[in-house]
Amino acid sequence: MIQTIYLASRSPRRVELLKQIGVECLIKPADIDESVLAGELPKDYVLRLAREKAISCQKILGKECLNMPILAADTTVALDDMILGKPINDADAFSMLKSFSGRQHEVHTAIAVVFNQEIQVSLSSTLVEMMALTDAMIHDYIAMGEHIDKAGSYGIQGLAGAWIKNIEGSYSGVMGLPVYETAQILRNLSVKKLSIKKIKCEKVNNESRNFN
């Protein structure tokens, strides 16, 4: 499997998850407009943003990215097909967490990998059931600051993990990077990379024999 990539993200969680599967990364964040398009569904939204981040990073890097893949990811939380991104303030975070109380919601994470003029995408969708939360619990959580810069205003890997009754899907996907899907794409790219090298070597060898 490819072991070094560019990561179009500042997320320390994604860096740690990549290390978990033996992949090191060079951080090259891509800043794009993350506005939701009119009528856009949550799954379509994260897939579009992951692609746009990867392509934006590729344009920034130019020839630098010829030898290494670029991986971009985007995560969003959805409740009844309503997209809930990162909170704009504490009141917004409270509203989101209150809406999850005693209910199920979905977490969608899309990944996009660009390499050799090819882009591969994958989507991980997980159903998350949260326990009933009191206002005091939510206020205490927000006071600790764990909601900041997190889709849906919580991180499953932190204190809010104790609120999760059940998940159906990928735990790492809820964290921000589905490791299974990521590893599958990087393995496929490794095979292709080796095949391309083999073809190039055979071409060079054939040309050398013809020359002689």
Mean pLDDT, contiguous 10-residue spans, the chain (212 residues)? 88 95 93 93 97 94 80 96 94 97 98 91 98 98 95 95 97 96 90 45 41 44
Q: What is the CATH number of the domain that holds 192?
A: 3.90.950.10
For residue 207, the model assigns a pLDDT of 44
Q: Is residue 140 part of a domain?
A: no
Residues of the domain holding 42: 4-86+106-127+168-211
User: What is the distance between the alpha carbons of residues 78 and 108, in angstroms, rounded to a whole number?
Assistant: 8
Q: Is residue 24 part of a domain?
A: yes
C-beta atoms surrounding 65 within 10 Å: 21
Number of domains in the chain: 1
For residue 35, the model assigns a pLDDT of 93
For residue 62, the model assigns a pLDDT of 84
Q: Is residue 8 part of a domain?
A: yes
Q: Which of 31, 74, 90, 135 is catalytic?
A: 74
74 in catalytic set: yes
For residue 43, the model assigns a pLDDT of 97
Q: Is residue 53 part of a domain?
A: yes
Q: Which of 59, 186, 193 lies closest to 116, judged by CA?
A: 193
Q: Is residue 137 part of a domain?
A: no
User: What is the distance between the alpha carbons of residues 70 and 62, in angstroms, rounded to a whole number?
Assistant: 11
For residue 193, the model assigns a pLDDT of 53
Q: Is residue 64 part of a domain?
A: yes
